[in-house]
Every structure is written in structure tokens, then in C-alpha cells.
Structure 1
Amino acid sequence: MYPTTLTQLSRANPFNAPLFSLQEIEEPKQSLPANGQSRNLAAAAIADSADVSCEFGSTKYYALCGFGGILSCGLTHTAVVPLDLVKCRIQVDPDKYKSIGKGFSLTLKEDGARGLAKGWAPTFIGYSMQGLCKFGFYEMFKIFYSDMLGEENTYLWRTSLYLAASASAEFFADIALAPMEACKVRIQTCPGYANNLRQCAPKMFAEEGVWAFYKGVVPLWMRQIPYTMMKFACFERTVELLYKHVVPKPRADCTKAEQLIVTFTAGYIAGVFCAIVSHPADSVVSVLNKESGSTAVQVLKKLGPKGVWKGLVARIIMIGTLTALQWFIYDSVKVYFRLPRPPPPEMPESLKKKLGLTE
């Protein structure tokens, strides 16, 4: 019989490139353990249980992954607030802020050095909450979808699995991010409106109600879901390729420092692609949260095909560095807390037998 409908749909994405395809495969018979989850992604988890602090896929595992997400997203986004502020001002007022250098010089001239830190509080709070949901839910959905697909299909369509898990996680992460993102953009792009979060949030609520904090959630989905899909899928496959073709020894033989270097490299490569994919929607979000009463469609028409690409260079620099640091911090948390780390994907023995690759 043919694979499940979910498997068939997963084949139709532009990022998926399996090494081969099967015309017909039998649905793998899953033997669920007592806890009801097959944990296909952890089929060959670390052999020495003394080396890990918790079970793969346990509540503690998800909690620590979420904590890693808080640190990786909250700290890195807060660290690049000055560049983010200039990028947003280029997007909403390109006639005044013509370049990165001009944006920094004008901001320093008008607001002083403290002006570059505008919006740091909503940035830290918002992206910490986003990181909690993004990384925590990604790990959950990755295991959930893997259990649905079965061991063989998980290997064959692992890129599709990464895309689906990351998109699902980001859907919820953006709902957590939206209120603080709205405050951040309003503080950074509307001179004189508010100097900090304590002033901004009550004022926005008084003027527009709760809708003021969530009117940008759809553009956020448009920006963040493609960004996160690229971030996770590109990172996972880049790590796999680096260990296969660049690193001269298996991951298990690498030191923790060497593994983190691979993580940082793969994160930066993924970040460049993330910035390009998500930039048009990012421009819409910046303008939408600056203006009261506008809709995403109106802003898109106003910016035009060229306008949505304003500030791309600044965003590539920011997102490339940001994504690399996020993966580095997230992986460091996993190393520090000794979380179980499944090895790189390998073809299951049952699939090798079907393809005649075993004696």
C-alpha cells in the first residue's frame, strides 16, 4: 500500500530532496513502548545513559529545550537592538535613513547613545517568550510527526519533517511574540510616542485596545514561519552535510568544542537564507506597527516591489549573526545540561533490506 496522506503531501515541498524514492512501501508496523511514543528520532540515542541527564522526549527534556530557547532568542535579539532599530527606521523612512551608516549617525545625533537601546525591554521579553515556544514546541512536534510517519518515512522525508515541525512551533511562538513586537516597533519608529515599555503599552491599549498588540500577528506569521522553516530545516541539513563532507571524523568522535563550531557555522549559513526569505514580510510588519489603522495589504501596496527589500543588507548581517549565535547558545545549553543528542540520521536496516542494500 502507499504511504499515508501526510507522507504524500510532504513530498511536494521545494526543499525536499531525498536520495531516492520508493514506488510502493509498506506502512511500518510501529511497536509503541509503554509510554505510547516510538521516538523514531531517538532510535539510536546515546548508549551510555550515565552521560545524559534525562530521557529523550521527557517533560524535563522539553523544559530544558524551552529554557535554551529563552536564552538563545532573548539574549541575541536584545544584543542587536541598535542594528534592529536602524533597520526598522530604514524600512519605515528610507528617505531620511538612506543607509546603515546614515541611520546610526542620525540616531546618535538626535537621540544620543541611549537612543540606540530604544525598545530593548519589549525585545527581551517578546523574543524570550518566542524562543521558549519556538525551540520547545519544535522538539515536541519533531517527535510527534516522526511517530506519525514511522521510522522509514522519517528518514526518507526528514527535511519535510523539519519544515512541518518548525512551522507548527512558530505558529504558537508568534502569538507569544506579537504584543511585545508591536510595542518595540512603536517605540523605535515613532519619535516622541513613548520612551519605554511602561509608557508604550498602556498608551497603545488606551488608543486601540487589545487589537493594537495583535494586528501584526498575521504579518508576523508571514515573516516568521518561512524564516523559521528555513532556519531549522537548513540548519539540520547543513549540520548533516558538514559532518558528512567537511568534518574529518564522526560527530561522536568530535569534542564538544568542535561540535559547537559546526553548530555556529551551520547556523550562520542558515541565517543568511532566513533573512532573504523573510525580509519582505519584515518590512510590512515594521510599517504596520508604526502606523495606526493600516492593514497588511495596504502597507504592501504602499511599499511596492522595491520598497519591501529596503534594509536587506542590514537584516542579512543581523539575522546571519543572530541565527548563528542562537544555535550556538541553544546547543551550549544542551551540552551543559547533558541532554540526549541523537546521532545524524542513518538509513534504517528495514529500509536497507527493502532496497537490497544488505546481504
Structure 2
Amino acid sequence: MAPSFVVPSFSQRDYGSFFLAGALCCTISHGAMTPIDVVKTRIQIDPAFKSHNFISGTRSIVAKEGAAGLLTGFGPTAVGYLAQGGAKFAGYEYWKRSFVLIAGDQETAIRNRTAIYLGAATIAEFFADILLTPLEATRIRLVSDRSFATGLVSGFARIAREGGIRELYAGFLPILCKQIPYAIGQFTVNEYCHEIVYRTMTEDMKNRLSGSAKFSLDLGSGIIAGFAAAILSHPADTLLSQINKGHGPTGFMFHRLSVLAREAGFRGLFVGLGPRMIMTAGLVSSQFLMYGYIKTALGAPLGIEIHKDHKNL
């Protein structure tokens, strides 16, 4: 039987720090990426933008709406990802630790680390999306229809008034289909990128890594994880934009999604992937960098590592 091992305890204060760090890194990164997201969303749902790439789409929006047009939806983006980011990062730390405890020993945890990453990311994202969905619906409506409302409060209020809870959560299923693969790519690929590098090092080498080396590792891992997150989640992202625009038939969500997917085809589901890969690589890498720095500033502990090292090869 493999020996038991000590799993560090996290206090309520620690989880509060995880939540705050996740909230700040996500709202800052998503808020900064608003112009890219505006162009991406227009390419996905506006027929007039179907032939545009990121550069030509940006020029078209600025020419017609001014530079302010690139900041459409900034309010719901910042608020939505403040809540979602905190819940996602703190939830991932909580569920990863919980699954490590269920494994019972280090060997079992390492052997099942992929399942632990996938499970922790999936459950954390599910609860985070309950907070995100109404604000994401508001953002997409504002971006797709500039005359819909003047901002976050008026847009949210109009959707709630005209459609109620059902309309605010009309995109919950597609947003789960988008965000859960996104979180899986974000966390799992990032974990494995770090593991691949750490496998080449002894424990002493790892402990003596310079600040610039750690920065480079975190940045590179985040960029690769961002590419993976974008590719895995993009088809559902396209369908989510269509649903919130009001496209597709009425009826059950599975039916609506399947009809829209057939109409779009494989190529149509990946329209706008280029700009989104750029956006997501920047989002994920900056989030992991900021998350680490903010946790350190708050005096929070490191997360649990269950990587396979060189001794286990």
C-alpha cells in the first residue's frame, strides 16, 4: 500500500485570498480584452462582418462607431468576470484539494491527476457560470445591438423586465458547453506544461529557479493553455453568441443548439477563432501571472501540486 501523505490545510482566509486573487485577475484581464472580444463577437453574429478578419473588423467598427465602440459591453464584462473569476479559481483550489484527499495517498493522486484536474475544473466552472451567465447575456446583447441599452444596468434591467430569469439564463447550457472546456484547457494544460518542465529538474533546481525563469515558465504555460482553451471552447462560444442574439428556432435548448450547429457547419463553428486565440492566450497567461502575484501579496499559500516528477518516470 502506498504511504499516506500530508495535504496542506486551507483556512477560510486562504480561500478568501484565492477568491480575491481570481476575481481581480479575471476582471482585469477580461476588461482589458474587451476590444478584441467586441470584434470577435461581431464576426460571429453580424452577417456584415462575416468576411472581416480582426484588423479589418476593428477598422470597420472604429470608422462607424468611433473608438468607444470597441469598449461596448465593458461593464458586464468586468462585473461578470469579477464574480466568475473568484468562484472559478477558489473553486478549483478547493475541489483539487478535495479530490486529492479522496485519493488518499500520493501515488494514487499522481496516477489519477488528469481526472483530478478535469473534475476540479468542471465543478468549479459550473458554479462560477451560475454567476456569469446573466451578465454574459447582457454583454452579448449590448455588443450585438448598440441600440439595445446604454450600459450594464439598463441592459440587465431590460432583459430581466422583458424576459425574466428565463431570458437571463437562456444561455446557461451553451455557456456551460463553452466555459467548461475552456476551464479544462486552462487548468489542465497549464498543469501539464509545468509538469513537463519540472520533470527535467531536481527538487533543488526547482527551488532555485530565478524570478525571470518562473515568469517565463508561467507565461509560456499560460499561452499554450490559452490556445487549448480557445480551440476547445470556440464552437460553443459561437453558438452562445447566436442564442443571445435570438437566432435559431424556439424550443428546448438542445434542439436549438443542434439546429444552429447544423446550419453553421464545421467551418462556421470556428469563425472568429483567430482573434479569440489571440485574446485567450493573453487572457489565460495574464490571469495565471496576476493570480500568482496577488496570492503572494495577500500572503496566501501555494496551491497543491500533484505533478509526476523525474523520479517517477
TM-score (normalizing by structure 2): 0.90
CA offset digits 1:296-331 (Å, max 9, x no partner): 333323322221110000010000111000000001
CA offset digits 1:248-284 (Å, max 9, x no partner): 9732112344323311111111111111111000000
Q: Residue 280 of structure 2 aligns with which residue?
A: 319
Q: Residue 64 of structure 1 aligns with which residue?
A: 17
Amino acid at match of 1:255: S
The alignment status of 1:259 with 2:214, answered yes or no, reads yes
The alignment status of 1:304 with 2:265, answered yes or no, reads yes
Q: Residue 80 of structure 1 aligns with which residue?
A: 33
CA offset digits 1:210-240 (Å, max 9, x no partner): 1111110110110110110111111011112
8 Å Cα contact 1:74/1:128 also seen in 2: yes
The alignment status of 1:105 with 2:59, answered yes or no, reads yes
The alignment status of 1:205 with 2:160, answered yes or no, reads yes
TM-score (normalizing by structure 1): 0.79
8 Å Cα contact 1:263/1:331 also seen in 2: no
8 Å Cα contact 2:138/2:152 also seen in 1: yes
8 Å Cα contact 1:39/1:146 also seen in 2: no
Q: Residue 164 of structure 1 aligns with which residue?
A: 119
- In 1, distance between residues paired with 2:121 and 2:78? 21
Q: Residue 145 of structure 1 aligns with which residue?
A: 99
Distance 1:343 1:302, change over 3 A: closer
- In 2, distance between residues paired with 1:247 and 1:308? 44
8 Å Cα contact 2:195/2:307 also seen in 1: no
Deviation larger for 202-211 or 267-276: 202-211
Amino acid at match of 2:29: T
Q: Residue 180 of structure 2 aligns with which residue?
A: 225
Structure 2 counterparts to residues 270-309 of structure 1, below 5 A: 270-291=225-246, 294=250, 295-309=256-270
- In 2, distance between residues paired with 1:91 and 1:246? 44
- In 2, distance between residues paired with 1:250 and 1:344? 16
Residue 302 of structure 1: SS of its match in structure 2?
helix
Count of aligned pairs: 304
Q: Which has the higher helix share?
A: 2
Q: CA deviation at 1:157?
A: 1.4
RMSD between aligned alpha carbons? 2.5
Q: Residue 133 of structure 1 aligns with which residue?
A: 87
Q: Residue 253 of structure 2 aligns with which residue?
A: none
Q: CA deviation at 1:133?
A: 0.7
CA offset digits 1:113-168 (Å, max 9, x no partner): 11111100000000111101100010000111111111221011112211111111
8 Å Cα contact 1:39/1:143 also seen in 2: no
Distance 1:247 1:90, change over 3 A: farther
Q: Residue 91 of structure 1 aligns with which residue?
A: 44
Q: CA deviation at 1:187?
A: 0.1
CA offset digits 1:184-221 (Å, max 9, x no partner): 00000113112311221121122211111111011011
Which consecutive unaligned segments of at least 5 residues does structure 1 have? Answer: 1-25, 31-37, 43-55
Distance 1:247 1:227, change over 3 A: farther
**Percent identical:** 31
Q: CA deviation at 1:39?
A: 5.2
8 Å Cα contact 1:159/1:237 also seen in 2: no
